[in-house]
Chains A and B, each alone.
Chain A
């Protein structure tokens, strides 16, 4: 089990970016791209909506994973996702969506630097608790601001993304996920990958080796939160309405974490696969069970930790090492 979270002991190994390793990723995006054009009959609209939220879940999971690669297991993902949603709700009223979207993400990214700086020297459960606390603080602040500013506890109406065109929204989410995956791959290829792995496996050692821990940890925070906020924008622009209790709920921090671990930590494809499987399972269960479908997340998390520590990706390449994507 101790190898569970440290799948990439071979940090010095050059990541082999063979075409073969990219095939599953290409397949995933290919399928996602043609999905809206499949003849799905009467339920097409509903299925497209599920697919949209699957893409958002994948964005959140993958962005969480990027932060986790630097050894920072955060429970504050809901905060940045929520800041993106709120940022877009407020900015979207005064500027076009293509300006509001990156700006909201940028704000979330900058706020994450504050949290990152404060928690730099915390590790393990202290880090987890501090990030959990941070989410609650953000929620409390937004809830207690005057209603004219952020809608208070009642929530806020959000300008619809792309005029509410479901297919256009889907392709926007597709684009954001593609961007997230490219960022993830770029990190995998760059110095960042080695720096993150070194920090994760032993911060002191990394420091001795000359890795500028502070800079890399903050970079991980910024990238991760920026991407998570884009996910928040997509969500808010799709649902027209957000409120603090749901937006900043613990579930929104848990889902990306569970999804990544289930799919396979520190990989690009893993979180995306995990999101697909879990979202579909959730949707199936959602139809039969009204309340408490998050049960799946709890169960999956427990079972993965106990029996499948390398997640779905571990299953896919059982016995093989390297070539991780």
Chain B
């Protein structure tokens, strides 16, 4: 029983990180209407920036986090300006392929400049652990989860309590209608896409403290984020939260209870995507 609760706890903690990545992606999909296949690469940039700040400047990742977020927000906004903006009205296929190309470009640029090695970030709280009754949790994991919760709470507060957030939701619902009532749609898109990338970067910083930074680190998180937003329904921001928990916990359960589970747990999210998509398609939705 203890093992079971430990597993649940691990899954839950992991899902905080997933929710962070996925809510960024859901923002791009929901507001801008762009399925950003390069989302994982923005996460990767965040992870490398955190590693660089720590290795060269000696800045703790948690301190560099806000700066990284702002920097990647700017990168995202720039990306929107030079590329995404030009395909907003193009067929979905073109949009998909464009972001796909961007992802390959960024990933291999990192590979070219930094090599394929994984870089770890050392932090003073790395080996620490917390015990809650019989259960124990790694310090970095706990911090990552806490931060994810705080940031997500912030995101939802912005979306539901501020003017900008209302504009974003309005644009998400109806682009032309928003234009008619005087919302600067292009500006909202720019900000939403930037924030989406910024969120990925924040997740990247956390990934750097939990795992490592490497050119391909983003891919698996992006794929899982896709699984999550597909489960939640495209662009459904609140659905992202429970879908993240479903994914995190089911992965943890597979890891604990399936023999040789380490290898199979990575297939869990694909099974979830597959199941959801097939279920949806046979129910008639698209």
Say whether A and B bind each other.
Answer: yes
A residues whose Cβ falls under 8 Å from a Cβ of B: 1-2, 4-6, 73, 118-126, 128-130, 132-134, 136-137, 140-141, 143-144, 153, 250, 254, 257-258, 261, 289, 291-295, 297-302, 305-306, 309
B interface bracket (residues with beta carbon within 8 Å of A): 35 or more
- Whether A140 contacts B264 in the complex (CB less than 8 A), given A1-B87, A292-B109, comes out as yes
Pick the contact of B273 from A133, A143, A294 — CB < 8 Å? A133
The 12 listed contacts between A and B (C-beta, < 8 Å) are A126-B286, A129-B230, A134-B274, A140-B270, A254-B100, A293-B112, A295-B105, A297-B101, A298-B108, A302-B102, A305-B98, A306-B87
* Inter-chain contact A295/B108, CB cutoff 8 Å: yes
* Inter-chain contact B83/A306, CB cutoff 8 Å: yes
Assembly CA distance A122 to B284 (angstroms): 10
Residues of B within 8 A of A128 (CB): 96
Residues of A within 8 A of B116 (CB): 291
Assembly CA distance A299 to B103 (angstroms): 10
* Inter-chain contact B105/A1, CB cutoff 8 Å: no
Question: Considering only CB atoms, which chain A residue lies closest to B284 in the complex?
Answer: A121
* Inter-chain contact A291/B112, CB cutoff 8 Å: yes
* Inter-chain contact A305/B94, CB cutoff 8 Å: yes
* Inter-chain contact A4/B94, CB cutoff 8 Å: yes
* Inter-chain contact B108/A292, CB cutoff 8 Å: yes
Task: Knowing that A293-B112, A305-B101 touch, tell me 17 more A-B residue pairs with CB under 8 angstroms.
Answer: A6-B91, A118-B278, A121-B286, A125-B92, A125-B96, A129-B230, A130-B274, A134-B270, A137-B267, A141-B267, A289-B112, A292-B107, A292-B112, A294-B111, A298-B103, A298-B108, A305-B87
Residues of B within 8 A of A261 (CB): 97
B66 at the interface (CB under 8 A from A): no
Pick the contact of A298 from B101, B113, B219, B273 — CB < 8 Å? B101
Assembly CA distance A132 to B270 (angstroms): 9
Which among B100, B102, B109 has the highest number of chain A CB atoms within 10 Å? B100
* Inter-chain contact A254/B104, CB cutoff 8 Å: yes
B106 at the interface (CB under 8 A from A): yes
CB distance from B119 to the nearest CB of A (A): 15
B221 at the interface (CB under 8 A from A): no
Question: Considering only CB atoms, which chain B residue lies closest to A118 in the complex?
Answer: B278
Which residues of B (73-123) have their CB < 8 Å from a CB of A? 83, 86-87, 89-94, 96-98, 100-113, 115-116
Assembly CA distance A5 to B116 (angstroms): 35
Question: Considering only CB atoms, which chain A residue lies closest to B116 in the complex?
Answer: A291
CB distance from B197 to the nearest CB of A (A): 16
Assembly CA distance A272 to B92 (angstroms): 25
Residues of A within 8 A of B101 (CB): 258, 297-302, 305
B residues whose Cβ falls under 8 Å from a Cβ of A: 35, 83, 86-87, 89-94, 96-98, 100-113, 115-116, 215, 219, 223, 226-227, 230, 260, 263-264, 266-267, 270-271, 273-274, 277-278, 281-282, 286
Residues of B within 8 A of A306 (CB): 83, 86-87, 98
Residues of A within 8 A of B98 (CB): 301-302, 305-306
Question: Considering only CB atoms, which chain B residue lies closest to A289 in the complex?
Answer: B112
Assembly CA distance A124 to B97 (angstroms): 11
Assembly CA distance A296 to B132 (angstroms): 51
Assembly CA distance A284 to B282 (angstroms): 48
* Inter-chain contact B115/A291, CB cutoff 8 Å: yes
Residues of A within 8 A of B227 (CB): 133
Question: Considering only CB atoms, which chain A residue lies closest to B216 in the complex?
Answer: A250
- Whether A130 contacts B108 in the complex (CB less than 8 A), given A118-B278, A121-B281, A136-B267, comes out as no
* Inter-chain contact B263/A143, CB cutoff 8 Å: yes
* Inter-chain contact B93/A257, CB cutoff 8 Å: no
* Inter-chain contact A4/B230, CB cutoff 8 Å: no
* Inter-chain contact A122/B96, CB cutoff 8 Å: no
CB distance from A203 to the nearest CB of B (A): 11
CB distance from B31 to the nearest CB of A (A): 16
Residues of B within 8 A of A136 (CB): 223, 266-267, 270
Residues of B within 8 A of A297 (CB): 101, 104, 108
* Inter-chain contact B105/A299, CB cutoff 8 Å: yes
Residues of B within 8 A of A4 (CB): 90-91, 94
* Inter-chain contact B103/A144, CB cutoff 8 Å: no
